[in-house]
Amino acid sequence: MRIGIVSDTHDHLGNVAQIVAIFAAARVARVVHTGDITQPKTLRAFASLEAPLVGVYGNNDREREGLAHACAETGASFVDGPLELTWAGRRILVIHDPKELPAERRRGFDLLLHGHEHRPTLERRDGLLILNPGECAGHIKGYNAVGVLDLATLAFELVKF
């Protein structure tokens, strides 16, 4: 199973359209957003994804009531992190800011997906694969990025746009 990973879109609707196209081309089965969508209109822009969208709220996702309504409209599912998932036999932990997650809370998981830092991260620590695709806020053209991860092999591709 291939999944898409996106973070820190911060209402950049033009980038969301590109993200949807990237994930469609990659044929991902599911998409995880690691927070900082910011406004409901941005969540609604993800409605054209061909895969289910799940995620966690970030520190800039202050319009919770509106975001919750947008989730209900689009079928997306967002929670306050951490979010625990088990897909394709992999235990996945999703949080926006990794500094808010104590090290002992990470035990027993295969993957930690996060955002907040606006820079890509790919590292292994104590058997845990830690991924942050970077940001999609549009601050610097060519530095916007999303991730595509194959859960069977843990092969990760960072797609910059």
What pLDDT, on the 0 to 100 scale, is given for residue 138? 83
- CATH code, 2-160: 3.60.21.10
Chain centroid offset of residue 47 CA: 15
Contacts by 75-80, CB closer than 8 A, 24 or more apart: 75/47, 76/43, 76/46, 76/47, 76/52, 77/52, 77/53, 78/33, 78/37, 78/43, 78/54, 79/55, 80/56
pTM: 0.96
pLDDT of residue 143: 87
Q: Which residues of the chain have pLDDT under 50?
A: none
Domain segments of the chain as ranges: 2-160
Q: Helix/strand/coil (H, E, C) string of 1-22?
A: CEEEEECCCCCCHHHHHHHHHH
Look at residue 70 in the predicted model and tell me its pLDDT.
Answer: 98
pLDDT score, position 142: 79
